[in-house]
Amino acid sequence: MSVLVVGSIALDTVKTPMAEHADLLGGSASYAALGASFFSPVNLVGVVGDDFPKEHVELFRDRRIDLDGLQTVPGKTFRWSGEYMWDLNTRETRSVELNVFEHFTPTLPGGYSETPVFLLANIGPNLQNHVLDQAAKPKFIIADTMDLWINIALDELLRLLKRVDMLILNDGEARQLTKETSLIKAAAKIRGFGPKYVVIKKGEHGALLFGDGKFFSCGAYPLEDIHDPTGAGDTFAGGLAGWLAAQNGQAINFDALRKAVVYGSILASFNVEAFSLERLRTLTQNDIAGRYEDFRLMQQFEIIE
Amino acid sequence: MSVLVVGSIALDTVKTPMAEHADLLGGSASYAALGASFFSPVNLVGVVGDDFPKEHVELFRDRRIDLDGLQTVPGKTFRWSGEYMWDLNTRETRSVELNVFEHFTPTLPGGYSETPVFLLANIGPNLQNHVLDQAAKPKFIIADTMDLWINIALDELLRLLKRVDMLILNDGEARQLTKETSLIKAAAKIRGFGPKYVVIKKGEHGALLFGDGKFFSCGAYPLEDIHDPTGAGDTFAGGLAGWLAAQNGQAINFDALRKAVVYGSILASFNVEAFSLERLRTLTQNDIAGRYEDFRLMQQFEIIE
């Protein structure tokens, strides 16, 4: 099965305490699509300007990502610039230029509406709803969001939540959305808004999965050095969605979602090892299998082989 | 096998956003000894004043804790008072009265020096070192510490670390002790100071175990309501040490320590469900076995039964 990924495609300028790089490939859809592409075919929906470097299009093609849904329009590509503080846990946005993204209307080409798994990566909930309006009957719909939309588009976001199977968000956003300090209570409240499943990402503390009266706690891979946290959450969502889509004909239940969360965490852990999408460019199935084994060992406390 | 627990015994006044209670049984040794007592015999070393309520002594006796090492001296028992903020994650110490604790010298009665597992719960590292000076040849020595000792008794603490098998501390303390922001690097540096194993407690984010080139990530039990976080870390250390001591004749290696961390987490998760040691008073082996199963399910992503 394939996964449809819609979101932003950007050129990022990223500064960390160690280095600064300009005009990197970025955006929620870029990270999510590449993450998913390690497991399943991907239909990408997004927009770029006519300044978008050909090498980035080539990277998508190399990863066998379908680009029928990629609009190229006159003007400049969406640009984002941000700076990470010394602990790499907090970041400041330095500038945002919407450019061609300002008038983006995500339109699904021919066969895309039949895609079984939809990943609505982080963009405005109005656009996420617009994509769902064009969907046939997806088997599983995942949405990501961010603090900005909770602040300025809450009604639209709540309308979206009634239509999706899973919401992915970070701990701060979960608290902001629900006004609950306890993540356990926050997840229960979010499930009350609609999604059957909720994933709360906690950065260096891993991720929590809630649903079906069950709970799964996934640790974070113990990386000594993180080079660029940008896109970690998007790559997580992409890996999760791609792995789910690859389980042809299997039921999407809590036990399947446990593994999906692990594969999302694996992809994200690789992604932060280098700037932009550089690490995913060279990532192999062997790398993924090796880290899966590491996750198994770091989570288990019975029957250790 | 039995475990020797040395630490503070206190009368606590605790204020949370929900309630306030005075003259509760507290102190690192009280929590640690009760935690350990669910798994193994405990030899308690500590000091109280002649005002120490008989009911607390009875609680220790009910849990079959050996009190030959409990000194009762003229004067008032150590008193601590603290207040938790709205999120229960941060607390302020309101007052400390050392009282009889000021001149406490932990002296091991007859057979105590032969105890196989030593838990040096949180007290000054000079006292922890003094206890080790009296030890025969313990099979496994665990030390807990806190920010205060890192600030005012670092040399003595570093001397202690050369003598112990495991250090337990929280994430903030690990960063403070090593000046590393990455907990992975912090743990490696602490192991360089002496302890073969390091446990980093992360409160609502669980606990990490490092050693033997391996890594174990233990999630926190998903509690909807926490009533009093006081003593969670001490109860964790006690449960961990007690469970280890109960594995008669088994090697204390990384795989045994994984389970010990889980049992410590289980005891701590119960303890925060009520003020002081109230929850442990009524805790049963069935409760513990049930929550062990919950931990198994929340950590596993393969072979879910």
**Residues of B engaging A, defined by a Cβ cutoff of 8 Å:** 86-88, 181-185, 188, 202, 204-206, 208, 214-220, 222-226, 255, 258-259, 261-262, 295-302, 304
Q: Which residue of B has its CA nearest to A294?
A: B215
Q: And the tokens for A95?
A: 């500038």
Distance from CA of B226 to the nearest CA of A (A): 9
Rounded CA-CA distance B237/B145 in Å is: 11
Those residues with Cβ within 8 angstroms of residue A118's Cβ, 6 or more apart along the chain or in another chain? A3, A4, A6, A131, A132, A135, A138, A140, A141, A142
Q: Distance (Å) from the C-alpha of residue B211 to the closest C-alpha of chain A?
A: 12
CB contact under 8 A, B206 and A217: yes
pLDDT tens digits, residue range A173-187?
A: 999 999 998 999 999
Which amino acid is located at A94 in the chain?
R
Quick check: helix, strand or coil at residue A19?
coil
Give the tens place of pLDDT for each residue, A25-51.
Answer: 999 999 999 999 999 999 999 999 999
Euclidean distance between CA atoms B250 and A92, whole angstroms: 51
d(CA B71, CA A7): 67
Residuewise pLDDT in 10s, chain B (305 residues): 999 999 999 999 999 998 999 999 999 999 999 999 999 999 999 999 999 999 999 999 999 999 999 999 999 999 999 999 887 778 999 999 999 999 999 999 989 999 999 999 999 999 999 999 999 999 999 999 999 999 999 999 999 999 999 999 999 999 999 999 899 999 999 999 999 999 999 999 999 999 999 999 999 999 988 999 999 999 999 999 999 999 987 899 999 999 999 999 999 999 999 999 999 999 999 999 999 999 999 999 987 65
Reply yes or no on whether the pLDDT at A86 is more than 90: no
Q: Look up residue A104 and give its two tokens.
A: 């983006």
Alpha helices, DSSP H only, in B153-277? Answer: 154-161, 171-178, 183-193, 232-246, 254-271
Cα(B153)–Cα(B146) distance, integer angstroms: 10
Average pLDDT, chain A: 96
ipTM surpasses cut 0.90? yes
The residue type at B181: T
What are the residues whose beta carbons fall under 8 Å from the beta carbon of A267, sequence distance 6 or more? A35, A38, A235, A236, A238, A239, A280, A288
- Residue B55 Cα to chain centre, angstroms: 22
Residues A38, A42, A48, A54, Cα dihedral to 10°: 60
Name the residue type at position A85: M
Rounded Cα distance between A284 and A121, Å, is 24
Q: What is the pLDDT of residue B86?
A: 81
Q: What is the CA radius of gyration of chain B?
A: 18
Mapping DSSP to helix (H, G, I), strand (E, B) and coil, where does residue B46 land?
strand
Residue B214 burial (C-beta neighbours within 10 Å; 0-12, 13-18, 19+): middle
How close does chain A come to B102, measured CA to CA in Å? 38
Residue B159: φ, ψ to 5°: -65, -40
- How far is residue A87's CA from residue B180's CA, in Å, rounded to a whole number? 10
Cα dist from B152 to B126, B148, B149, B156, B177, whole Å: 11, 6, 5, 9, 12
| Torsion region of A69: left, alpha or beta (phi above 0 gives left; psi -120 to 50 gives alpha) | alpha
Cα A124 to Cα A120: distance, rounded to the nearest angstrom: 10
Minimum CA–CA partner of A85 in chain B: B181
User: Of A36, A264, A5, A33, which is closest to residue A127 (Cα–Cα)?
Assistant: A5
Tokens 């006796």 locate to B61
pLDDT of A211 higher than 70 = yes
Q: Distance, in angstroms, between B207 CA and closest chain A CA?
A: 10
Alpha-carbon span B225 to B87, nearest angstrom: 11
User: Is residue A190 a contact partner of residue A174, using CB atoms and an 8 Å limit?
Assistant: yes
- For chain B, the domains span 3-299
What's the rounded Cα separation, in Å, for the pair B25 and B27?
A: 7
Structure tokens at B125: 């590292």
- Residues facing B65 on adjacent strands: B42
Residues from chain B that touch A224, judged by Cβ atoms under 8 A, are 182, 184-185, 188
Quote the pLDDT of residue B305. Answer: 56
Question: pTM (2 decimals)?
Answer: 0.95
The predicted pLDDT at position A62 comes to 96
Q: Among the residues of B200-303, which ranges form H helices?
A: 232-246, 254-271, 278-282, 285-299
The answer on pLDDT for A304 being more than 70 is: no
Q: What is the mean pLDDT of residues A116-141?
A: 97
Q: What's the pLDDT band for A305 if we cut at 50, 70, 90?
A: low
- With tokens 């790398």, the residue in question is A287
Residues of A in contact with B296 (CB under 8 A): 301-302
Q: Which homologous superfamily does the CATH classification assign to the domain defined by A3-299? A: Ribokinase (3.40.1190.20)
Residue from B199, B205, B253 whose CB has the most chain A CBs within 10 Å, to mutate: B205
- How far is B235 from B279, CA to CA, in rounded Å? 12
Beta strands across the sheet bearing B207-211: B65-73, B42-49, B3-6, B117-120, B140-144, B166-170, B197-201, B207-211, B214-218
**How is residue B188 written in tokens?**
């490696």
Token pair 């998007």: residue:
A234
Which residue in B184, B151, B266, B145 sits closest to A219, CA to CA? Answer: B184
